[in-house]
Amino acid sequence: MFWDAEGVLFIDYLEKGKTITREYYSSLLTRLDEKIREKRPGLQKKKIVFYHYSAPAHKIVLTMEKLRALHYELLKQPPYSSDLAPSDFCLIPKLKLFVAGQRFSSNRKVIAAVEGYFADLTKNHYRDGIMALEHRWNKCISVKGDYVEKEK
């Protein structure tokens, strides 16, 4: 899932049994760039600061080369900072509550429910999630990389 302070740019639904390889992730970045140009044309002339987790596919040479080719500036993160992932503290917990207890008869229905959920969130929700990253980042630095407890 790729999103910014205005909302979801696009979600890639990985097929069952597939894994995210370096080639797959590189193609995702190409698709992301296309979506940014389509949905945020004003960003074409601005510097894009990109944040992603430190998953293996994110750290390899092919990925780094792709980010440079797209002229994205990678936001550096402290080591062991998994609690700085905005999706994990801003979007996913409430999505889990939204789908809890529901049964879906097909992948298509799950995708429709997820996309409907994100479409119904306000711009403020996305903006607040990005703004919370700065707060959590500073907190992570102040506790020297220790776990940043969940906000209430």
What is the model's pLDDT at position 152? 42
- List strand residue ranges (DSSP E) for 6-152, in order: 7-10, 48-50, 72-74
Average pLDDT per 10 consecutive residues for the chain, totaling 152 residues: 90 90 88 93 83 63 84 72 70 90 93 94 90 78 63 44
What is the model's pLDDT at position 151? 47
What is the model's pLDDT at position 44? 76
What DSSP string runs through 11-52?
---PPTT----HHHHHHHHHHHHHHHHHH-GGGGGSPEEE--
Quote the pTM value: 0.75
What is the model's pLDDT at position 147? 58
Which is it for strands 7-10 and 48-50: parallel, antiparallel or unpaired? unpaired
Task: Pick the closest to residue 67 from 84, 50, 53, 47 (CA basis).
Answer: 50
